[in-house]
């Protein structure tokens, strides 16, 4: 009798231990899930303004420019200076994309900043519907630029959302082109 009572006690304490461990696992899982949710970060749809730098804890609309807030991790492009672009273009595998209007590209409208050699011209307004023209270079590094780096961040982000992962934006745009670097400039 005493023996079976002891066995029962033992079983009960084992069960309690098991329950305790299971709850502990569930609790840590719950904490991890809520922590990941808390960690989620949002930024403005890249537009080349200061509001791009602000990080938000939840989605919605950017109060500075009214554009949608997007998940920070979906913004994958990087930005480099015109001086760095001058070196980068020595790599002939880099695809160059000018997202200004044809008039800005060829210098017939607005300030003539010139364009970069071997640049493909697809205005940002047409990029979404003409994105298939770039399917053949999806795995290549794509350098995107405009005049003042207002349109190129948005175009770079658009490329990211269409599966282009190696996208580089030129900060400053053609208005900030490095005067010492003449070899890529067509004017």
Q: Could you list the residues that contact Zn ion (CB under 5 A)?
A: 44, 51, 62, 64-65
State in angstroms the smallest separation of the CB of 51 from Zn ion.
3
- Could you give the CA distance from residue 3 to residue 11 in angstroms, rounded to a whole number? 12
Cβ proximity to Zn ion: between 26 and 61 the closer is: 61
Rounded to 5°, angle at Cα 140 from 90 and 161: 130
State in angstroms the smallest separation of the CB of 65 from Zn ion.
3
Cβ proximity to Zn ion: between 46 and 173 the closer is: 46
Cβ proximity to Zn ion: between 26 and 55 the closer is: 55
State in angstroms the smallest separation of the CB of 135 from Zn ion.
30
* Residues with Cβ within 8 Å of residue 96, at least 6 apart in sequence: 89, 116, 117, 118, 119, 120, 142, 143, 145
């Amino acid at each position: 009798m005493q023996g079976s009572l002891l066995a029962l006690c033992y079983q009960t304490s084992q069960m309690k231990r098991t329950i305790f461990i299971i709850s502990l696992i569930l609790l840590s899982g719950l904490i991890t899930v809520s922590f990941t949710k808390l960690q989620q970060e949002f930024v403005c749809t890249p537009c080349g303004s200061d509001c791009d730098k602000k990080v938000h804890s939840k989605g919605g609309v950017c109060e500075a420019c009214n554009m949608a807030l997007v998940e920070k991790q979906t913004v994958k492009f990087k930005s480099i200076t015109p001086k760095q672009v001058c070196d980068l273009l020595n790599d002939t595998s880099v695809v160059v994309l000018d997202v200004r209007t044809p008039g800005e590209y060829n210098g017939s409208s607005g300030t003539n900043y010139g364009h970069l050699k071997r640049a493909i011209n697809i205005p940002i307004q047409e990029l979404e519907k003409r994105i298939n023209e770039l399917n053949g270079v999806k795995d290549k590094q794509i350098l995107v630029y405009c005049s003042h780096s207002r349109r190129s961040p948005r175009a770079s982000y658009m490329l990211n959302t269409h599966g282009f992962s190696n996208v580089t934006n030129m900060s400053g745009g053609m208005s900030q082109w490095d005067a010492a670097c003449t070899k890529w400039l067509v004017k």
